[in-house]
Structures are given as structure tokens and as C-alpha cells.
Amino acid sequence: MESRTFKNKVQEFIRERVISKLQLAYFAVDEQMKVRGASSNLSDYGFPKLDIGKPVDEQIDFMIGMDAKTELDLPVVGSPSGIPISVSLMPDDDQLTVLISNASTATEQRQLLQQAANENELLVEQQKKLMSELEMASQELEQKNRQLEEASRLQTSFISGVSHEFRTPLTSIIGYTNLVKSDLAKMSEEMVPRIAKQDSDDYLSAVQRSSKHLLSLVENLLDHGKLDSDEINIRPKPTDLNELFRDVELLLTPLSTTKDIRFDIELDIPSDFEAIVDDSRLRQCLINLVGNAIKFTDEGGVSLKAKLENESLNVSVSDTGLGISADDLKKIRLPFFQAADTGKVGTGLGLTITERIIEMMGGQLEIESELNVGTCVTFSMPAPLIEPQLAVEQQLSVNLTELRVLLAEDDSDIADLVVMLLEEQGVNVRRVVNGALAVAALQEADFDIVLMDIHMPIMTGYEAIEELNKQGNTTPIIVMSASAVEDDQERAKGLGCAAYLVKPVDVQEILSIASMVIDVN
């Protein structure tokens, strides 16, 4: 039934669109050769109006002797009006359609029909060609996507490698600089003259600042790779915001002093509460924003303001620097973009990463700037409050003089530093240089915690942890690695490690985590 309905629609389309345009007359008969329908222009050729349902051979002479299955072309037939006509009989399943046209224009009409057929065939070929090109484009796009995925993987691997290679020596530089400064402060004037002591302290402070700046650049590169794969995690914890902002002031004031510009800081933060924020990420954002402001300011100064109200931290960083044009302001958030003609060097990643981190912490960053006048960057973020005493009560403690630590670290500079810092706290430390020796040491003696590096010769840290898990080890393992890649952290977590510390690490952070995992276990 549906097939017949469709066929009728096609026939109707032919009658209305094709036959009418070619000025053809037609009539149709059923299987009994009775008239089923006819066009109104049959009279143009002198034919009478056909009666529906009556035999056609009684009304049109040239149909005598024909049947519904006859397929025939009559090039020239006389019509009642004397006009020579061409007749085409076209049988179908249940009817015969007869087309009538002026024989004088039949050739032209056939050419039109042939042209239409040729154009249709050309369209079909073009369609096939387009489909082929579309398939090729799809395959090429798929190949490009695979190449982009591989390039992204290689980029992440490269950035991870660069981060690891930088972090390892930076751990030594920062750690030993802190150690020397600490020892220098303990020396009397008899041992070191006051002026020499002050100069040495200034030199060491310069090394510290440069090391921390280099570490922040490494962090920015690594974080940019993480942004593409959504690997940045936010880890809030109780934080003294006043202390955090003062740390930023102490770190960046020397930069403003060198350029002979002001660096003012104005805080409105209650001191009797701590805020639940990711102190490391917040510090990173502040250093990026204030550092940028100082870098692009040659006259005047930079102002950092922070206010904590209704458990929301509101921060603004304003400067009297170069400013940003309206066109550049539209693109300033793009990675690697730097405003034209500034003459300032940098990666162009700081602002992009800062904005993304602030958004991940639940905040929003806004930028207002005027060329040759200055820039003001503001952001707000949630900062739930907690009483400091409550935060202290959450920290567990152990007797450091009884703490036994196994350190697996192949870098001798870092190992010596960690051993020295831990022993200063009264901790008993044994050091091994690879994973195999760590496994053997745990079989020989009991330890409270294990500090395990990842990348070591003979047996890596991961391999050692897997082997210890097979042996039923219950000693808490804290991974201490220069790799900040999320995959490494997730792998360590999957292996049951108690914590994952990224170098350079603070000895107090090690002891704090050790205190918690030992008490828990």
C-alpha cells in the first residue's frame, strides 16, 4: 500500500513539474484500457474531453488495438486538429500513460530530457566525488587527532621530565641555602664580622629568591601541561593568611627594591582565625600576579590589598605600569600571549594558569587596565574560617627521638640534606640508594616510615613498593619525588602509599605527615 502511495506521488510530481514544463498533453488508462485521467490541454490538439471510466479506443482512434502493456513510440501521428504529434506509450504495473507532444518540438523536448538526464548523472558523480573527499577528510582528521594526542602525550612527558630535572637540583640549592643561613645566624661576631655576616646573608637571600623564582617558572610550565588534561588538584587545609601574605611580601619586596619602585601591602585579615584554602596554590597565584605587576612597572609602584569578610577572600593587585591596550586586553588571558612592545621576557603562562587555578578554587578573576596608566587585577574566592587551636588539635604528634626513618634516595646531595635536617630534629635516619636496598632494609630492621624516591637505579621506587606490598609490608611509605605529574601521584595512591610529597619538601611537612600516618597505623 505504501509503495503504491509513493508511486502515485511520483506520478503526480511528473505530471505537475515535468509534463507541465514541457507543455505535454497526457492521458492514462487502467488495465482494462478505460480512461483513468487526462490533462486539460488535450483539446489543444483537437482531442475531445475524455470520459473517465470509458474505453479509450472508443474516444481516440490511434489507441485501437493497443493494450495496457504496450510500450511504443509513435514519432508522427496526425491529430484531429491537423497538428502533427508524437505519441509515447509508457506502461506501468497497473496503468498505461500516454504522452502527446507537438512533433515539431519533439526533438527540442527530447534534448531537454536528455540534458536533464545528463545533469542528473553529473550530479550523481559529483555526489560520489564529494562523499569520497569527505571520507578522505574524515580519515585525515582522525589521523591528525591521533598525531595531536601523541604530541600532547610527548609534551606532557617532556614537561614532566623538565620539571623533574629542575626540581632535583633546586631541592639541593634551596635546602642547603636555608641550612647555611641558619648556621650563619648562629655564628657570633667573633667568628664572622658583622658586615661580612650581613653581606653573606644578603647573598644567600638572593640565591633563595632566584631559586624560588626558577621553581615558580617550572611550576608554571608543568601546570600548563596539566591544564590541558585537567590534572590540577586543589587541596585546601587550615592556613594562616596573614603569614602567607607576609611570605609573598618578603619574597617579592627585593624585586621592587631593585627597580626602585614601591611595593605596598594592606591586609584586613583577622589573626585569630585560619582559613581553609590551598596555601600552595594561593601563594602561586599571588606570586604570579604581584611578580607580573612589578615586572611591568618601571615608575610608581605596586599595591597588594587583601580583605577577609563573610568567609570570602577579596584580593586586588594594582600597579602604575605600562598598562594593556584594549586589543591586547581581549587576548591577555590566552596562554603564551604577551602584550606587544613591552620588552619584557617571560613564558606568558602566569596569568592563564592563575585564572584557571582561581576558578578551580571557586573564585573569579577580573582585569582592568589602561595603556600607559596601569593595571588592576582583582579576584575573590571562598575562604571558610577555623579557629587555630582547632587546627592544632587536628595535628597528631610523635616522639621524634624515637622515630626511625628509612630514606631511599639516589641523589647524594638531596639525601645528605634530608638526613641532616631530620637528624637535627632528633630523628634516626638510615639511607639507601635504590629500591632493592630499601626492600632488603625493611626485611632486616623495623622502621616507622619510609621516604621513597621514585626514580632510582636497579629497582625504582614503584617497583620497590610493589614488591613490599607482595611481602605484606605494613610500614607507611611516603613518596618523595621531583615528579609533580598527577599520574605519578595517582599511581602512588593506588599502591597504598600514605602520602606523596613533591620536591623541594619541607622537613616539617615530612614530620607532620609522619606523625599522622604513624598514629593512624
pTM of the complete model: 0.48
For the chain, domain boundaries: 2-111, 236-389, 395-520
For 367-395, what is each residue's pLDDT tens digit? Answer: 898 888 899 999 999 999 876 544 444 44
pLDDT above 70 covers a percentage of the chain that reads 75
Q: 512533433: which residue's cell?
A: 103
More confident residue, 343 or 273: 273
Give the model confidence (pLDDT) of 202-257 as tens digits. 777 777 666 766 766 666 666 655 555 555 667 788 888 998 898 888 888 888 88
Q: How far is residue 326's CA from residue 332's CA, in Å, rounded to a whole number?
A: 10
- Tell me the pLDDT tens digit for each residue of 133-168: 888 888 888 888 888 777 766 766 666 666 666 666
CA distances from 471 to 372, 429, 438, 448, 485 (A): 67, 23, 13, 17, 28
Q: Comparing C-alpha atoms, which of 322, 280, 282 is closest to residue 304?
A: 282
* Residue 202, helix vs strand vs coil: helix
Q: What is the pLDDT of residues 466-478, one digit of tens each?
A: 999 999 999 999 9
Q: What is the C-alpha separation between 171 and 418, in angstroms, rounded?
A: 10
Of the candidates 35, 36, 46, which has an alpha carbon nearest to the alpha carbon of residue 102?
A: 46
Q: Which CATH number is 2-111's, of 3.30.310, 3.30.70, 3.30.450, 1.10.10? A: 3.30.450
Assigned C-alpha cell, 284: 602561586
* C-alpha pair distances (Å), 407 with each of 271, 419, 464, 466, 475: 38, 8, 13, 17, 13
Per DSSP bridges, beta strands 35-38 and 25-30 are antiparallel
Is residue 279 very low, low, confident or very high in pLDDT (cuts 50, 70, 90)? confident
Tell me which of 11-25, 280-294, 428-442, 490-504 is least confident.
Answer: 11-25
Question: Residue 222, Cα to own-chain centre: how many angstroms?
Answer: 14
CATH of domain 236-389: 3.30.565.10
Residue 118, Cβ neighbours under 10 Å: how many?
10
Neighbours of 12 (CB within 10 A): 10
Can you read off the three cell numbers belonging to residue 397? 604528634
pLDDT score at 8? 61
Q: Which three cell numbers stand for residue 24?
A: 505535454
Grid coordinates belonging to 53? 471510466
Q: How far apart are CA 223 and CA 356, in angstroms?
A: 10
State which CATH number among 3.20.20.70, 3.40.50.2300, 3.30.1330.10, 3.10.450.50 fits the domain covering 395-520. Answer: 3.40.50.2300
End-to-end CA distance of the chain: 79
Q: What is the pLDDT of residues 65-114, one digit of tens each?
A: 888 888 888 877 778 888 888 888 889 888 899 888 877 665 666 677 77
